[in-house]
């Protein structure tokens, strides 16, 4: 394996930070070429001083000068703004882009990398949720690998190695159930962000942790799997697996199952995606059956956690439905983290937004951007009318 120049889009988030840990552990395999951040200038500067990339991008243009004042004399190029994010993703000297920008904002730079022919390690599921048809069609046209970083999709990707594409009967995504597994609406109505951010198994960013608590994250992953692996909606299932040891399974046409297992640690799928097709050694903690004498499974409660049911409906409806849902979800999660909306009210806003924003059966990329804007505006209006 030759040394890869890596661009990390979203280096100050949870995935980006862990990716840099992986790179630091394998300096003979990876070099940091570009780092980008939305607004965490202090951490971006700290990372740049340690890893000495060719360039950094701070999306918040108001912080450009502060970043440049520290890094310019170090020989590190400094850029700012969303446009720069898109431009650096297409640089010739990048061997792989790790797309770890949170939410819809990751779509444009990820598409830029794919259009340029650069392999993508995809940690931004929203890119495929909102425009998976266009993104994967572009990847096929450009013959660009899109290697999943989400632990569930990384598991499926590994299970499919060496298998014929038409041999898959269905995939089964596992979900921990989040911090409120088994709880009912009379409990959830009083939930605050501090409770929702206490995930039992995984260390993740705030947005994805809330999505896990509502089960929206699993719905987003179902839509992501549909596009990543070319599946029909009925070929994707979800099962609750509280221990988070089996990361997902594939059932084949002969009835046999393959599962990928391991301790819940995002560094493993990050390392696998960046190193692919080589499997790199590491010193991560190892799974032992003596510590997990039983692994349990149950069906998700979609009556209580209606976000999963909403996502399944969007998956089956197709068109821009998932784009609308994702935009509304990003708005309500942001509001919940600011204590502006209740836990169960998030679902209500998403449902109403999906009813009100126009459905388009065969959207263009422009339609996706228009739908995202319309859904955000409608959801924001609903949030502003809520009194808690």
Three-state helix/strand/coil letters over the chain: CCCEEEEEECCCCHHHHHHHHHHHHCCCCEEEEEEEECCCHHHHHHHHHHHCCCEEEECCHHHHHHHHHHHHHHCCEEEECHHHHHHHCCCCCCCEEEECCCHHHHHHHHHHHHHHCCCEEECCCHHHHHHHHHHHHHHHHHCCCEEECCHHHHHHHHHCCCCCHHHEEEEEEEECCHHHCCCCHHHHCCCCHHHHCCCCCCCCCHHHHHHHHHCHHHHHHHHHHHHHCCCCHHHEEEEECCCCCEEEEEEECCCCEEEEECCCCCHHHHHHHHHCCCCCCCCCCCCCHHHCCCCCCECCCCCCCHHHHHHHHHHHHCCCHHHHHHHHHHHHHHHHHCCCCCHHHHHHHHHHHHHHCCCCCCCCHHHHHHHHHHHHHHHHHHHHCCCC
Q: What is the pLDDT of residue 163?
A: 96
Per residue in 149-171, pLDDT tens? 999 999 999 999 999 989 999 99
Please check the confidence at residue 352 and state whether its pLDDT lies above 80: yes
On whether 93 is known to bind a ligand per the annotation, the reply is no
Residue 235, C-beta contacts closer than 8 angstroms, at least 6 positions apart = 168, 169, 170, 171
Q: What is the pLDDT of residue 198?
A: 86
On whether 217 is known to bind a ligand per the annotation, the reply is yes
Task: Identify the weakest region by mean pLDDT among 24-33, 192-201, 209-218, 367-376.
Answer: 192-201
On whether 236 is known to bind a ligand per the annotation, the reply is no
What's the pTM?
0.94
Contact 101, 127 (CB under 8 A): no
User: What is the spatial order of strands in the sheet that 236-240 belongs to?
Assistant: 236-240, 168-175, 246-252, 257-261
On whether 212 is known to bind a ligand per the annotation, the reply is yes
Q: What is the mean pLDDT of residues 230-254?
A: 97
On whether 199 is known to bind a ligand per the annotation, the reply is yes
Please check the confidence at residue 201 and state whether its pLDDT lies above 90: no
Residue 258, C-beta contacts closer than 8 angstroms, at least 6 positions apart = 159, 249, 250, 252
On whether 221 is known to bind a ligand per the annotation, the reply is yes
Please check the confidence at residue 388 and state whether its pLDDT lies above 70: no
Q: What is the pLDDT of residue 200?
A: 78
On whether 205 is known to bind a ligand per the annotation, the reply is yes
Per the omega criterion (within 30 degrees of 0), is the bond before 277 cis? yes
Distance CA 288, CA 291 (A): 6
Task: Identify the weakest region by mean pLDDT among 182-191, 348-357, 374-383.
Answer: 182-191
Distance CA 224, CA 248 (A): 14
On whether 288 is known to bind a ligand per the annotation, the reply is no
- Taking residue 28's Cβ as centre, other Cβ atoms within 10 Å add up to 7
On whether 377 is known to bind a ligand per the annotation, the reply is no
Mode of pairing for the β-strands spanning 168-175 and 146-148: unpaired
On whether 176 is known to bind a ligand per the annotation, the reply is yes
On whether 61 is known to bind a ligand per the annotation, the reply is no
Please check the confidence at residue 172 and state whether its pLDDT lies above 80: yes
Per residue in 21-55, pLDDT tens? 999 999 999 999 999 999 999 999 999 999 999 99
Q: What is the pLDDT of residue 2?
A: 87
Distance CA 22, CA 6 (A): 12
On whether 318 is known to bind a ligand per the annotation, the reply is no
On whether 40 is known to bind a ligand per the annotation, the reply is yes
On whether 101 is known to bind a ligand per the annotation, the reply is no
Distance CA 128, CA 386 (A): 31
Confidence of residue 202 (pLDDT cuts 50, 70, 90): confident
Domains and CATH numbers, the chain: 4-148 (3.40.50.720), 151-268+288-314 (no CATH), 318-388 (1.10.1740.10)
Q: What is the mean pLDDT of residues 268-295?
A: 96
Mode of pairing for the β-strands spanning 246-252 and 96-99: unpaired
Per residue in 64-101, pLDDT tens? 999 999 999 999 999 999 999 999 999 999 999 999 99
On whether 12 is known to bind a ligand per the annotation, the reply is yes
């Amino acid at each position: 394996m030759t040394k890869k120049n890596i661009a990390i889009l979203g280096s100050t988030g949870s995935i980006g930070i862990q990716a840099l840990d992986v790179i630091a552990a394998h300096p003979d395999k990876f070099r940091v070429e570009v780092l980008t951040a939305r607004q965490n200038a202090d951490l971006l500067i700290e990372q740049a001083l340690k890893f000495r990339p060719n360039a950094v991008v701070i999306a918040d243009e108001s912080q450009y000068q502060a970043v440049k004042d520290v890094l310019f004399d170090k020989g590190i190029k400094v850029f700012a703004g969303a446009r720069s994010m898109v431009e650096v993703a297409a640089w010739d000297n990048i061997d792989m882009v790790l797309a770890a920008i949170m939410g819809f904002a990751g779509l444009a730079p990820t598409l830029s990398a794919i259009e340029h022919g650069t392999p993508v390690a995809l940690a931004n599921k929203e890119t495929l949720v909102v425009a998976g048809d266009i993104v994967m069609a572009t990847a096929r046209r450009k013959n660009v690998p899109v290697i999943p970083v989400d632990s569930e999709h990384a598991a499926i990707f590994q299970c499919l190695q060496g298998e014929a594409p038409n041999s898959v009967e269905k995939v089964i995504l596992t979900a921990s159930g989040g911090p409120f597994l088994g709880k009912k609406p009379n409990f959830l109505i009083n939930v605050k962000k501090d409770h929702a951010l206490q995930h039992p198994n995984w260390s993740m960013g705030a947005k994805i942790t809330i999505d896990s608590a509502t089960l929206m994250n699993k719905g987003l992953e179902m839509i992501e799997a549909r596009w990543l692996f070319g599946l029909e909606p009925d070929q994707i299932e979800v099962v609750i697996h509280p221990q988070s040891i089996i990361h997902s399974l594939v059932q084949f046409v002969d009835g046999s199952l393959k599962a990928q297992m391991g301790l819940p640690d995002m560094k493993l799928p990050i390392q696998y995606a960046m190193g692919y097709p080589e499997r790199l050694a590491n010193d991560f903690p190892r799974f032992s059956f003596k510590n997990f004498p039983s692994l349990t499974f149950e069906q998700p409660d979609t009556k209580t956690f209606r976000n999963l049911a909403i996502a399944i409906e969007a998956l089956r409806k197709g068109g821009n439905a998932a784009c609308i849902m994702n935009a509304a979800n990003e708005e309500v999660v942001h509001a919940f983290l600011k204590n502006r909306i209740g836990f169960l009210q998030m679902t209500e806003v998403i449902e109403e937004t999906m009813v009100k924003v126009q459905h388009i059966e065969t959207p263009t990329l422009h339609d996706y951007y228009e739908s995202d804007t319309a859904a955000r505006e409608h959801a924001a209006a609903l949030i502003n009318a809520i009194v808690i």
